[in-house]
């Protein structure tokens, strides 16, 4: 008589897109998976973001000259970048280390480490859509960067050269009538744009809703309003996790806790240098003249995403700690930031306002790594502004690490050891 081997048990802490992807690939690899979230599955920064799946976003924020631009921006009233003045040694250390990385060598190094995650995730997303694992309004219309001033448009030529020469991510340069031919919703007097045709977009809340159904159908248990309170260890390994709803026996733990990861230091005996970078979005009815291509306006730092029955404006970067308030002046940056570009910028009220904390690392790279002090704990966090775009590849790597296989992508650039 054949005896079925009991599946190994893993708890994934965090029900955002990274946690969902980790659970998906661990379940496929034969693990018995439980997801716990202190709030609800699909909340946090995964809920109402721009929805971009963008291999073109290979360059980190640590570009040459970024510090000077940021300083000038911060002294402008209602700048897209905001740092709340306060005594916070961890933040100032983070900003200092970020500043040290703002050079071409480190920028290119980070870009080459980011590219495999973005490219692999795009492939996996297409498979997930084709296999009907997810239903998320998937669209492959590219991503359009639009410029109002000739100066900014021409300055971007160098960025496009770097993306083409170093990362094989060329864009189609559009000027004059060609820009309006692609996107008639844009005003006619704009300087031009760059269209990254290999990018895609989806509706993130629908992604997580459909992924939850697929995960539960595959036997994954999902516990909302279940907060991690402790990791119970013996001989350098976790044997159970304590939560606000009880104890769960485990063979492994995956921490996909996003911007909250920095608060886990007491559990892990290692520092996770992540800062919460607060972003905002407004979701509303589609305007009468609605864009069909998702767009970024680099001069105002605002993104626009059209969906089947709605329309979203998103962005800004606010370093204000774990502040949960929604500031009206930050939302106004979103609406003001699209007026110079669109014929019909947005409909009348009401708008659905939202914020999320992005998990920002100072080198722009995620952390996908075994915890140095606990052998059966995996960190899957720190994806900066690209958690959605990197999620499937991250989940695949995590499953390969825990299952003893060799990851298709070299995970060394994402090791927590680089911060120690």
Half-sphere exposure of residue 369: CA atoms within 13 angstroms, side-chain side: 21
pLDDT for the residue numbered 43: 87
Two structure tokens written together for 408: 């298709």
CA–CA separation, 302 and 44 (whole Å): 20
In the chain, what are the domain boundaries? 9-46+206-273+364-419, 60-103+138-198+275-360
* Sheet with 221-223: strands ordered across: 221-223, 32-36, 9-13, 252-255, 374-381, 367-371
pLDDT for the residue numbered 143: 98
Residues paired with residue 304 on neighbouring β-strands, in sequence order: 295, 313
Q: How many residues does the chain have?
A: 420
Same CATH topology for 9-46+206-273+364-419 and 60-103+138-198+275-360: the answer is no
What is the pTM (predicted TM-score) of this model? 0.95
Answer yes or no: are the C-beta atoms of 53 and 388 closer than 8 Å: yes
Taking only the tens of pLDDT, the chain with its 420 residues reads: 444 468 999 999 999 999 999 999 999 999 999 999 999 999 888 899 999 999 999 999 988 877 766 666 555 666 778 888 888 899 999 999 999 999 999 999 999 999 999 999 999 999 999 999 999 999 999 999 999 999 999 999 999 999 999 999 999 999 989 999 999 999 999 999 999 999 999 999 999 999 999 999 999 999 999 999 999 999 999 999 999 999 999 999 999 999 999 999 888 988 899 999 999 999 999 999 999 999 999 999 999 999 999 999 998 899 999 999 999 999 999 999 999 999 999 887 778 999 999 999 999 999 999 999 898 999 999 999 999 999 999 999 999 999 987 888 999 999 999 997
Answer yes or no: are the C-beta atoms of 119 and 199 closer than 8 Å: no
Answer yes or no: are the C-beta atoms of 55 and 389 closer than 8 Å: yes
Q: Which helix (DSSP H) or strand (DSSP E) does residue 94 occupy? A: helix 89-100
pLDDT for the residue numbered 3: 41
Angle, helix 387-403 to helix 17-28, in steps of 10 degrees = 30
Q: Options 3.30.9.10, 3.30.300.20, 1.20.120.450, 3.30.2350.10; which CATH number does 60-103+138-198+275-360 get?
A: 3.30.9.10
Residue with tokens 């496009």: 160
pLDDT for the residue numbered 84: 84
Other CB atoms within a 10 A radius of the CB of residue 53 amount to 27
Burial of 285 (0-12, 13-18, 19+ CB in 10 A): middle
What own/partner pairs with CB < 8 Å and gap ≥ 24 does 26-32 have?
A: 26/254, 26/395, 26/398, 26/399, 26/402, 27/215, 27/218, 27/219, 27/220, 28/399, 29/399, 29/400, 29/402, 29/403, 30/403, 31/7, 31/252, 31/399, 31/402, 31/403, 32/7, 32/8, 32/219
CA–CA separation, 156 and 162 (whole Å): 10
**For the chain, first and last CA: distance in Å?**
51
Two structure tokens written together for 61: 């924020």
pLDDT for the residue numbered 75: 55
Two structure tokens written together for 339: 């007026």
Peptide bond into 350 cis (omega under 30): yes
Two structure tokens written together for 360: 């920002």
CA–CA separation, 92 and 247 (whole Å): 37
Pair type for strands 367-371 and 374-381:
antiparallel
| Domain at 9-46+206-273+364-419: CATH code | 3.50.50.60
CA dihedral 140, 141, 142, 143 (to 10 degrees): -130
pLDDT for the residue numbered 1: 42
pLDDT for the residue numbered 406: 81
Give phi and psi for 171, each to the nearest 5.
-115, 160
CA–CA separation, 374 and 254 (whole Å): 11
pLDDT for the residue numbered 25: 98
The DSSP-derived string for 115-182 is HHHHHHHHHHHHHHHHTTS--S--B---EEEEESSHHHHHHHHHHHHHHHHHH----EEE-THHHHHH
């Amino acid at each position: 008589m054949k005896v079925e081997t009991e599946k190994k048990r893993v708890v994934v802490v965090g029900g955002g897109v990274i946690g969902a992807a980790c659970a998906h690939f661990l379940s496929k690899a034969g693990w018995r998976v439980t997801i716990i979230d202190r709030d609800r599955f699909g909340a946090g920064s995964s809920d109402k973001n721009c929805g971009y799946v963008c291999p073109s976003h290979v360059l980190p924020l640590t570009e040459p000259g970024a510090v000077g631009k940021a300083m000038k921006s911060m002294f402008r009233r209602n700048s897209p970048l905001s740092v709340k003045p306060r005594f916070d040694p961890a933040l100032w250390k983070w900003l200092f280390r970020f500043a040290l990385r703002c050079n071409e060598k480190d920028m290119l190094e980070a870009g080459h480490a980011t590219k495999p995650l973005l490219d692999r995730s795009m492939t996996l997303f297409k498979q997930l859509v084709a296999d009907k694992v997810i239903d998320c309004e998937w669209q492959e219309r590219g991503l359009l960067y639009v410029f109002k001033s000739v100066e900014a448009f021409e300055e971007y030529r160098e960025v496009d050269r770097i993306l083409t020469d170093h990362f094989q991510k060329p864009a189609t340069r559009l000027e004059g009538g060609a820009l309006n031919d692609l996107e008639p919703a844009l005003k006619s007097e704009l300087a031009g744009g760059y269209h990254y045709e290999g990018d895609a977009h989806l509706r993130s809340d629908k992604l997580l809703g459909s992924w939850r159904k697929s995960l539960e159908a595959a036997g994954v248990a999902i516990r909302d309003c279940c907060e991690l309170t402790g990791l119970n260890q013996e001989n350098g390994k976790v044997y159970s996790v304590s939560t606000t709803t009880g104890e769960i026996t485990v063979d492994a733990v995956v921490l996909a806790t996003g911007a909250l990861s920095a608060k886990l230091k007491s559990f892990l005996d290692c520092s996770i240098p992540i800062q919460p970078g607060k972003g905002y979005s407004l979701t509303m009815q589609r305007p009468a003249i609605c864009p069909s291509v998702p767009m970024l306006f680099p001069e105002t730092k605002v993104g626009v995403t059209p969906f089947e029955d709605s329309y979203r404006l998103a962005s800004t970067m606010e370093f204000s700690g774990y502040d949960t308030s929604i500031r009206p002046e930050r939302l106004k940056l979103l609406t003001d930031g699209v007026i110079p570009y669109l014929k019909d910028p947005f409909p009348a009220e009401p708008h659905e306002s939202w914020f999320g904390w992005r998990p920002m690392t100072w080198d722009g790279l995620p952390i996908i790594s075994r915890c140095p002090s606990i052998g059966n704990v995996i960190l899957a966090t720190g994806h900066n502004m690209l958690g959605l775009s990197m999620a499937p590849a991250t989940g695949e790597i995590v499953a390969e690490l825990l299952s003893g296989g060799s990851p298709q992508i070299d995970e060394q650039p994402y090791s927590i050891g680089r911060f120690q």
